[in-house]
Structure 1
Amino acid sequence: MRAAAVRLFLPTVIALSFAAQAAGALLPSVPLLVASTAVGLAADLALHRWQRGMATTLGKLHATVTVRQAVRDLLLVTGLIRIEDQDYETKYMALACGLLIFYALHFASQALAIVVRRSRTLPILTRNIDASPLRLSPAPPALLMRRSGQRLLVFGLPATAGLLVAAIADSGWAAAAGIGLSAVLALAAIAVLAARLRSSRKPVTSEEALEWFESWLAEYQPTVGMYFSGGTSSAYQANMWLEPLARLEGRPLIVLRERFMMRKIASTDIPIVCLPKVADVMRLEQSTLKMLIHPSNSGKTSQVLRIPTIKHAFVNHGESDKLSSCNPYAKAYDEVWVAGPAARERYALASVGVDDKDIVEIGRPQLDVIKPYAGAPTGSYTTVLYAPTWEGWDGNPGNTSVIEAGENIVRSLLADPGVRLLYKPHPLTGSVEPRAGAANLRIQEMIRAAVATRAAEHANERPAASAAAELERRTAELDRLTTSSFRDSADDAERMLLQAVPETGRAAAVAAATAAWETAYWDSFPAWEHLIVTDARPNVYACFNVADLLISDVSSVISDYLASGKPYAVTNTSGLPERDFRTTFPTVRAGAVLTPDASGMPALLESVRNPENDPYAAARTELKEHLLGPSDPPSVVRFNDASRALCAKAEEHRAGMAVRALMAIPSQRDAESPGQRDAETGQRDAESPADNEHVKG
């Protein structure tokens, strides 16, 4: 409820400002007219700065920024007319015509911005590739290129200010000067944009860009890669495979389909290409690329699966007992790479058409960063990580514990004075089921209230100021490595230019900087402070390393957490009895089961603090190997072996295709019938008698 009120605050202020402005214009009341105009304009600027989504929503209701600004200006002009001693015929017509000229120039600059943007939008985006042959240049300022609403408000400020001065000081010259300055700004924008349409400032054509891409493929000769397509919140699925992909033998490549995804992929040394059009994806068929891994299924995945020269392996972004972990779509891939025997059994039981021979166990190579279990908590507090999953697409109430059990779990944990809570909800929580989103907000409010209470109790136990300074320094260092102008720019051509130089060695530097940042992050908070972790940093693996206990749902979080060997609990909101719940979901068998009322929380915490009372220690060791496979050989080695084997299959398939192509095109003479050969021979004899006589002789 509070979040909705915050979202509606600025639109409400804008609406009220129009009402007050109309009243000030009709009365007339100069103070009311000036104050309401200033408040409305400030609220509109704030809306475009901090609530662009709401600005888009207003546009769908036909209350666009152009309409709002035009109404604001016309009400000002109306107010000036209503004020006494105004020369209606001269001043009104001059001001109205001036405003019309300004708006006409604004629309012209907007049309020109669209033309410039289209001329700079190429069919391919790249990162970590030298794209200097494409003759790319930095884009004009975003205010001119894409933020048309904000541009209108900013360029219209002099006109609005001039009209306000005219209302206060009865000076028509002030209004004329303000409107004139706004028109000059619009003309300047047109001049800057028009200069970008000169042939010397344009990048290469689309066809030239694609020809360059094909030549780069021939030079780089990629062998292994990752294909990814998804929504704005799904980039984490690809990012978790960046480091394992970089370790593979061969020359890796990342293939994306959505332009915005280029900003979402974390820093890496691997060359990245984005091919939005399926026709351009097909150009990979003639490349040296042998195999692609796929962390997720999407509608566009079927397009790349059509390429017969490339082998495809589904690696998934996580494994759990949920039905989504054995999706029938998996049978479309050449192989399905899973963590351990549990996933193989899961596919066999699901009977979704995936042959056992096509399943390869590789472990989870990205779990190397998880620290092993070190025994009972050593500090004054037991750190509990509550990481519920989201509600899923099918609306099953057993998917997430947030709705039915989340508040009870958090309330029980906060009631224990020896618990430090880390709350990390799934990024998609509330995206399908509004009740999940509402429960998530209530949980966060509970945690903030508990933090305030503890802060009062530990007023003298804050970390030293140097800890905050160290975190700030480490954050700046990591941001320099992971955030570039590429991420801030909305122009496709500029993105390619700013990432033209490969990020050689950046992945190692990012890994070191991330480790240092994580240490500084945890040190910047007192040991007693509860935390709400919703940003990309720290990631869930970093939370694993500081947690003594995990509470989650049936999800891949459980499988990954088992790599640590630490205790965990699963919330049962499925409605099944505990015995059936454990039977249905094998990942539960080595952990405690919590009911929606969280009544088992005290006993669970007691077993964590006293490992001798932990009934699941041996079961966790067994389940870890069942889910993630053996520790020897390491997962990284098994992942690389699977890649080499699939590349070998691709080479064998290509060789077979070449042989079949030769066999399918016999010589024309062999394909002709004897009668055809005799007829053609006779015709040649008739056309060339001299030659025939020479041959016979």
Structure 2
Amino acid sequence: MVTALMAVSFLTLAVTAVVPNVPVMIAAAAVSLAVEGVLFRWQRGMVAMFAKMHADVTVRHLLRDMLIVVALVRLHGQSQETDLATPLLVLLAFYGLHFSIQAVSVIVRRTRTTPVLTRNIDTSALRLTAAPPALLLRRPGHRLLILGLPATAGLLAAGATGDALWGVVGAAVSVVLALGGLVLLGSHLLPGRRPPSEETVLKWFDAWLAEYKPTIGMYFSGGSASAYQANMWLDPLAKLDGRPLIVLRERFMMQKITATDVPIVCLPQVHHLMRLEHSTLQALIHPSNSGKTSQVLRIPTIKHAFVNHGESDKLSSCNPYAKAYDEVWVAGPEARERYALADIGVEDKDVVEIGRPQLDGIAAYRGAPEGEYTNVLYAPTWEGWDGNPGNTSVIAAGENLVRALLADPKVRLVYKPHPLTGSVDPRAGAADRRIRELILAANRERTGTRPGAEAAAELARRTAELDRLTTSAFRTSSDNMERMMLQTAPDPGRAAAVTAATAAWVKAYWAALPEWEHQIVTDARPDIQACFNRADLLISDVSSVISDYMASGKPYAVANTSGLTEAAFREAFPTVRAATVLTPDAAGVPELLERVRKPELDDLREARAELKLRLLGPSDPPSQARFNEAMRALCESALRHRRRMTEREARIPGQRAAAPTGDPELTTG
């Protein structure tokens, strides 16, 4: 719809340039400008698509103004009373200033790009100055639209009145605004406003490492959609004994990591990353594999453990890359056996069972649904990279499952698709959209009471409080990247406050929704665990969602879209052994709901308890305690390795010591 409006408006402008019609020209220009605003506010993907088609905002804005100028020439070009040369020259001056701003912004960005980015670290010693407004520095599209609006409006006014003075005035206003922006931007190149040199920043960073003395940490690299893989480990990492540190590689990822009091550093360049070799850092956990992971594995003074971002029976949970780490930490015995059967080079002695510390807050199974409605969580995984039809149920079974659930008047469905659904296979994205339409249509047919204004007000209050605690100052600054460096040290009490505020928000969120209304959950909040606690039944695919849900002990079902028989499906995927297996036609949904509502019919409860033990390990000691013990042992291994390196290098003249100077007694605390 937006693309069509854009095309029609420009086509209309082109027609009015040939056959001048002032009212139509003004209307077409207004529509095109309104569409630009919609694109930049709500449809950034379309902005990128136009750019790939070599029709970015600069081209569109220039074309719009030129078509208006052509129309003015045809309308008044022959009139001796209308001088169009002056507004045209002033308009060209504005575009010249716009491109000058763009050139200077590139220079300013390069001079202000620091080799290290930080969060939760006091950088006041660097005396960093605030960056220019993002409109000037990083948003050329927004800048051209805003600064060029007076010029476009002036040209349209000149066409409507026949007075070229309006064009001159409008273009002159744009020139003044652009000139002011250029001066403001250029002032940041003055010696007193330049940021510290790379050498100065790195010297400060080395000093901070020596003062903070990090001992443990998490390393993460990936795309913007993968940040959830790191975020799920933030709380367990913060609770470990030691001085934690988060190491990132992509600058944009600094904004994707959610609220935490753990110090965060981003080291985009490999040679800067290598400075960690002579720090006190002893061990890093890795929630995912990436191409840049191999770079940090080259540091011999640090031990590395692969913790994964979730465990499932899929082959991706046994990636051969895992053998590159010193240890592989898994939840329970099932994963240990999975690695042994996969025979990918991971030795059993290097596999450590730690449970899943993220699952400590999942509520335990209490029997039959307590309310009027049976809450069913349908959380399918995405289609994956390998094209296996059994990866996701969305394509082959999703609509059938949702129809069967919606057909039961006492079911309240919560649909939470994987964030990557449709990113590889367009069929999955199309099926996801159809599922959402089914849910919305079902809601329109349902009636019932809604929570009052008090519930909405409470949710708004809780949301504001949680946003205040979890939104760092850099998220709303004029320059995200630099504002991170300007932050001071974190508030040591914020972590507990965030935990309490999150729990209060979750309670207010569900209280503000009608119990009878189906929900589509795509935002980061509520997270999957909050949905687990609300659900009486989970329907999913073979994925880590099942393994995590096992912590609750509640009934669950798995859609079999693999083409295997049920017996072969259960044999191939151990996480399915305690599940109800559903066929793509969803024929077994009514019987499944009956067993959920009548626990005496639930013949899989003991099987779930046994499978939970195999998947997640024992409940005592708690998973967080086992996680902490595994980290302590890995740090001790790193210390022993450093001592051996130091002793070996001491016997070779001219070799530098492996351990940091001035801190021979490294500890995990």
Identify which of 413, 429, 446 aligns with 1:421: 413
Pairing 1:117-516 to 2, within 5 Å after superposition: 117-454=109-446, 457-458=447-448, 461-489=449-477, 491=479, 493-516=481-504
Measured at CA, do residues 492 and 471 of structure 1 come closer, stay the same or move farther in structure 2, by a change above 3 Å? Answer: closer
- Matching residue of 2:663: none
Q: Give the superposition deviation at 1:90.
A: 6.8
Q: Give the superposition deviation at 1:496.
A: 2.5
Q: Give the superposition deviation at 1:44.
A: 2.0
Greater gyration radius: 1
- Tell me, what secondary structure is at the counterpart of 2:32? helix
- Tell me, what secondary structure is at the counterpart of 1:117? helix
- Matching residue of 2:644: 656
Report the residue type matching 2:110 in the other structure.
R
Pairing 1:520-535 to 2, within 5 Å after superposition: 520-535=508-523
Identify which of 553, 564, 577 aligns with 2:565: 577
Report the residue type matching 1:286 in the other structure.
H
Conserved 8 A contact 2:539-2:558? yes
Report the residue type matching 2:365 in the other structure.
Y
Q: Give the superposition deviation at 1:93.
A: 1.8
Identify which of 622, 636, 639 aligns with 2:610: 622
Conserved 8 A contact 1:382-1:548? yes
- Tell me, what secondary structure is at the counterpart of 1:83? helix
Conserved 8 A contact 1:122-1:492? no
Query: Matches of 2:159 and 2:603 in 1, distance apart?
Result: 80
Listed as ranges, the gaps of 5+ residues in structure 1 are 1-8, 668-697
Query: Matches of 1:128 and 1:343 in 2, distance apart?
Result: 35
- Matching residue of 1:674: none
Query: Matches of 2:480 and 2:529 in 1, distance apart?
Result: 33
Alpha-carbon displacement from aligned partner over 1:197-231 (angstroms, at most 9, x marks no partner): 11111110112111110110000000000000111
Q: Give the superposition deviation at 1:100.
A: 1.1
Measured at CA, do residues 485 and 11 of structure 1 come closer, stay the same or move farther in structure 2, by a change above 3 Å? Answer: farther
Give the aligned length. 655
Report the residue type matching 1:140 in the other structure.
P
Report the residue type matching 2:494 in the other structure.
R
Identify which of 555, 563, 568 aligns with 2:543: 555
Conserved 8 A contact 2:2-2:35? yes
- Tell me, what secondary structure is at the counterpart of 1:226? strand
Q: Which moved more, 1:489-498 or 1:121-130?
A: 489-498
Q: Give the superposition deviation at 1:89.
A: 9.3
Conserved 8 A contact 1:120-1:492? no
Percent pairwise identity: 66
- Matching residue of 1:588: 576
- Tell me, what secondary structure is at the counterpart of 2:308? coil
- Tell me, what secondary structure is at the counterpart of 2:458? helix
Q: Give the superposition deviation at 1:490.
A: 6.7
Structure 1 residue ranges, 4+ long, deviating more than 4 angstroms after superposition? none
TM-score (norm 1): 0.92
- Tell me, what secondary structure is at the counterpart of 2:352? strand
Query: Matches of 2:470 and 2:462 in 1, distance apart?
Result: 12
1:566 aligns to 2:554 (yes or no): yes
Conserved 8 A contact 1:121-1:492? no
Q: Which moved more, 1:633-642 or 1:68-77?
A: 68-77
Query: Matches of 2:344 and 2:542 in 1, distance apart?
Result: 21
Query: Matches of 1:76 and 1:572 in 2, distance apart?
Result: 60
Conserved 8 A contact 1:137-1:203? yes
Alpha-carbon displacement from aligned partner over 1:561-620 (angstroms, at most 9, x marks no partner): 010010001111111111111111111111110011110111110110000100100111
Identify which of 50, 54, 73 aligns with 1:58: 50
Conserved 8 A contact 1:113-1:193? yes
Query: Matches of 1:312 and 1:212 in 2, distance apart?
Result: 26
Query: Matches of 1:289 and 1:492 in 2, distance apart?
Result: 28
Conserved 8 A contact 2:39-2:47? yes
Alpha-carbon displacement from aligned partner over 1:140-176 (angstroms, at most 9, x marks no partner): 2211111111211111111111111111112121111
Conserved 8 A contact 1:567-1:617? yes
Q: Give the superposition deviation at 1:498.
A: 4.1
Q: Give the superposition deviation at 1:80.
A: 1.8
- Matching residue of 1:100: 92
Alpha-carbon displacement from aligned partner over 1:444-491 (angstroms, at most 9, x marks no partner): 11000001111xx32xx1111110111111111111111133123473
Identify which of 615, 625, 631 aligns with 2:619: 631
Measured at CA, do residues 251 and 551 of structure 1 come closer, stay the same or move farther in structure 2, by a change above 3 Å? Answer: same
Report the residue type matching 1:369 in the other structure.
G
Conserved 8 A contact 2:231-2:257? yes
- Tell me, what secondary structure is at the counterpart of 1:479? helix
Conserved 8 A contact 1:551-1:570? yes
Alpha-carbon displacement from aligned partner over 1:398-421 (angstroms, at most 9, x marks no partner): 011001000000000000011000
- Matching residue of 1:600: 588
Q: Give the superposition deviation at 1:85.
A: 7.9
Conserved 8 A contact 2:214-2:280? yes
Conserved 8 A contact 2:359-2:548? yes
Conserved 8 A contact 2:259-2:472? no
- Matching residue of 2:74: 82
Q: Which moved more, 1:643-652 or 1:19-28?
A: 19-28
Query: Matches of 2:585 and 2:616 in 1, distance apart?
Result: 31
Query: Matches of 1:257 and 1:53 in 2, distance apart?
Result: 24
- Matching residue of 2:507: 519
Alpha-carbon displacement from aligned partner over 1:428-454 (angstroms, at most 9, x marks no partner): 111111111110110011000001111
Q: Give the superposition deviation at 1:49.
A: 2.4
Query: Matches of 1:367 and 1:465 in 2, distance apart?
Result: 33
